[in-house]
Amino acid sequence: MTSALIVQIAVIGAFVLMGLGILSMIFSGVRGIAQGKQDFKRIALISTPVIIFAISYLATNDVTKAGVLTTMGMMVIMIVSIVFTGLRGTFKF
Protein backbone atom coordinates (compact mmCIF):
# COMPACT_ATOMS: atom_id res chain seq x y z
CA MET A 1 0.00 0.00 0.00
CA THR A 2 1.28 3.39 -0.89
CA SER A 3 0.93 6.40 1.33
CA ALA A 4 -1.44 8.05 -1.16
CA LEU A 5 -3.84 5.11 -0.87
CA ILE A 6 -3.72 5.25 2.93
CA VAL A 7 -4.45 8.98 2.86
CA GLN A 8 -7.34 8.42 0.46
CA ILE A 9 -8.83 5.72 2.69
CA ALA A 10 -8.43 7.95 5.75
CA VAL A 11 -10.13 10.90 4.03
CA ILE A 12 -13.01 8.74 2.82
CA GLY A 13 -13.38 7.27 6.31
CA ALA A 14 -13.46 10.76 7.84
CA PHE A 15 -16.17 11.87 5.41
CA VAL A 16 -18.19 8.73 6.10
CA LEU A 17 -18.00 9.37 9.84
CA MET A 18 -19.03 13.01 9.36
CA GLY A 19 -21.94 11.91 7.20
CA LEU A 20 -23.07 9.39 9.81
CA GLY A 21 -22.87 12.08 12.47
CA ILE A 22 -24.95 14.49 10.41
CA LEU A 23 -27.53 11.79 9.67
CA SER A 24 -27.81 10.92 13.36
CA MET A 25 -28.29 14.60 14.24
CA ILE A 26 -31.03 14.92 11.62
CA PHE A 27 -32.71 11.74 12.88
CA SER A 28 -32.53 12.95 16.47
CA GLY A 29 -33.97 16.34 15.49
CA VAL A 30 -36.85 14.80 13.56
CA ARG A 31 -37.58 12.48 16.47
CA GLY A 32 -37.55 15.45 18.87
CA ILE A 33 -39.97 17.35 16.64
CA ALA A 34 -42.26 14.33 16.40
CA GLN A 35 -42.28 13.96 20.19
CA GLY A 36 -42.93 17.68 20.68
CA LYS A 37 -39.66 18.33 22.52
CA GLN A 38 -38.31 20.96 20.09
CA ASP A 39 -39.35 24.57 19.73
CA PHE A 40 -39.82 25.81 16.17
CA LYS A 41 -38.03 29.08 17.01
CA ARG A 42 -34.86 27.12 17.78
CA ILE A 43 -35.20 25.13 14.59
CA ALA A 44 -35.61 28.30 12.53
CA LEU A 45 -32.62 29.89 14.27
CA ILE A 46 -30.37 26.90 13.65
CA SER A 47 -31.46 26.51 10.02
CA THR A 48 -30.83 30.18 9.12
CA PRO A 49 -27.25 29.65 7.82
CA VAL A 50 -28.36 26.66 5.74
CA ILE A 51 -31.17 28.69 4.19
CA ILE A 52 -28.86 31.64 3.46
CA PHE A 53 -26.29 29.27 1.92
CA ALA A 54 -28.91 27.58 -0.25
CA ILE A 55 -30.23 30.91 -1.55
CA SER A 56 -26.75 32.29 -2.23
CA TYR A 57 -25.69 29.06 -3.94
CA LEU A 58 -28.75 29.13 -6.18
CA ALA A 59 -27.97 32.75 -7.03
CA THR A 60 -24.25 32.30 -7.74
CA ASN A 61 -23.81 28.61 -8.68
CA ASP A 62 -20.45 28.67 -6.89
CA VAL A 63 -19.81 27.07 -3.52
CA THR A 64 -16.98 29.45 -2.58
CA LYS A 65 -18.97 32.59 -3.35
CA ALA A 66 -22.00 31.12 -1.60
CA GLY A 67 -19.91 30.43 1.51
CA VAL A 68 -18.54 33.97 1.54
CA LEU A 69 -22.02 35.45 1.03
CA THR A 70 -23.35 33.25 3.84
CA THR A 71 -20.62 34.46 6.18
CA MET A 72 -21.26 38.09 5.25
CA GLY A 73 -25.02 37.63 5.66
CA MET A 74 -24.61 36.08 9.08
CA MET A 75 -22.33 38.94 10.12
CA VAL A 76 -24.94 41.49 9.00
CA ILE A 77 -27.65 39.63 10.93
CA MET A 78 -25.36 39.60 14.00
CA ILE A 79 -24.69 43.35 13.77
CA VAL A 80 -28.39 44.17 13.30
CA SER A 81 -29.34 41.98 16.26
CA ILE A 82 -26.68 43.60 18.48
CA VAL A 83 -27.93 47.08 17.53
CA PHE A 84 -31.55 46.05 18.07
CA THR A 85 -30.74 44.53 21.47
CA GLY A 86 -28.86 47.69 22.49
CA LEU A 87 -31.72 49.92 21.40
CA ARG A 88 -34.25 47.74 23.17
CA GLY A 89 -32.21 47.90 26.37
CA THR A 90 -31.75 51.65 26.08
CA PHE A 91 -35.39 52.52 25.41
CA LYS A 92 -36.91 49.66 27.45
CA PHE A 93 -39.01 48.15 24.62
Per-residue pLDDT tens for 39-68? 778 778 888 999 999 999 999 999 999 999
pTM strictly above 0.85: no
Give the burial class of 70: count Cβ atoms within 10 A of its Cβ; 0-12 exposed, 13-18 middle, 19 or more buried: buried
- Quick one: pLDDT band at residue 90, thresholds 50, 70, 90? confident
CB burial class (10 A; 0-12, 13-18, 19+) of residue 76? exposed
**DSSP codes joined into one string, 16-72:** HHHHHHHHHHHHHHHHHHHTT-S-HHHHHHHHHHHHHHHHHHHHH--HHHHHHHHHH
